[in-house]
Amino acid sequence: MNRKIVSAFLILTLALAGCTSAKEVSDGNKETTPTAQKNTGTLVVARLSDANNLDPHFSTQINSMAVIQHKIYEGLVQLDKNSEYKPLLATEWKQLNDLTWEFKLRKGAAFHDGTPFNAEAVRKTIARVLDKKEPTPKANLFSMIKEVKVVDEYTVQFLLEYPFAPLLSILASAEGSILSPKAIEQYGKELTKHPTGTGPFRFESWTPGQEIVLVKNESYWGDQPKFNKVIFKTVPEDTTRVAMIETGEAQVAEQLPVTEIERVKSSATMSLGRFDAFAVDHIGFNTSKKPFDDARVRQAVAYAIDKEAIIKGVYNNVGKVANSSLGPKVIGYSPNIKGFAYDLNKAKQLLAEAGYPNGLKATVYLNDNKARINVAEVLQSQLKGIGIDLQVKVMEFGAYIDAASKAQTEMFISGWGNATGDADYNQYNLFHSSSHGVPGNHSFYANKEVDQLIESGRKEADPEKRKQIYEKAQAIEINDVALLPYRSSENLAAIAKNVQGVWISPSGYIEINDVTMK
Taking CA atoms, 439 is separated from 239, 450, 483, in Å, by 32, 17, 15
Specify whether the backbone of 28 is left (phi greater than 0), alpha (psi in -120 to 50) or beta. Answer: left
The pLDDT tens digits for 375-394 are 999 999 999 999 999 999 99
Residue 318 parent element (H or E): none
Rounded to the nearest 10°, the torsion over CA 25, 420, 16, 426 is 150
Residue 3 has pLDDT above 60, yes or no: no
The pLDDT tens digits for 184-240 are 999 998 999 999 999 999 999 999 999 999 999 999 999 999 999 999 999 999 999
Q: How far apart are CA 174 and CA 178, in angstroms?
A: 9
Say how many C-beta atoms besides its own lie within 10 A of residue 461's C-beta.
Answer: 15
The mean pLDDT of 335-356, rounded to a whole number, is 96
For the chain, percent of residues with pLDDT exceeding 90: 77
On whether residue 309 sits in a domain, the answer given is yes
On whether residue 11 sits in a domain, the answer given is no
Burial of 308 (0-12, 13-18, 19+ CB in 10 A): exposed
The pLDDT tens digits for 479-495 are 999 999 999 989 999 99
On whether residue 228 sits in a domain, the answer given is no
On whether residue 414 sits in a domain, the answer given is yes
On whether residue 390 sits in a domain, the answer given is yes
Q: Is the peptide bond before 236 cis (omega within 30 degrees of 0)?
A: no
The mean pLDDT of 83-98, rounded to a whole number, is 93
Residue 443 belongs to what domain range? 277-490
pLDDT score of 11:
32
Mean pLDDT of the chain: 90
Q: How far apart are CA 477 and CA 157, in angstroms?
A: 36
Q: How far apart are CA 480 and CA 475, in angstroms?
A: 9
For the chain, percent of residues with pLDDT exceeding 70: 92
Residue 22 has pLDDT above 50, yes or no: no
pLDDT score of 31:
43
On whether residue 141 sits in a domain, the answer given is no
The pLDDT tens digits for 243-295 are 999 999 999 999 898 889 999 999 999 999 999 889 999 999 999 999 999 99
Q: How far apart are CA 394 and CA 400, in angstroms?
A: 8
Secondary structure of the chain: what % helix, strand, coil (to 5)? 30, 25, 40
Q: What domain count does the chain have?
A: 1
Q: Are 472 and 175 in contact (CB under 8 A)?
A: no
Taking CA atoms, 129 is separated from 79, 133, 174, 181, 351, in Å, by 22, 11, 13, 12, 44
pLDDT score of 36:
39
Say how many C-beta atoms besides its own lie within 10 A of residue 511's C-beta.
Answer: 18
What distance lies between CA 206 and its chain's CA centroid? 22
DSSP β-bridge partners for residue 392: 364
On whether residue 134 sits in a domain, the answer given is no
CATH number for the domain harbouring residue 320: 3.10.105.10
On whether residue 449 sits in a domain, the answer given is yes
The pLDDT tens digits for 131-142 are 988 888 889 889
pLDDT score of 458:
87
Residue 26 has pLDDT above 60, yes or no: no
pLDDT score of 33:
42
Closest CA to 495 of 274, 322, 235: 274
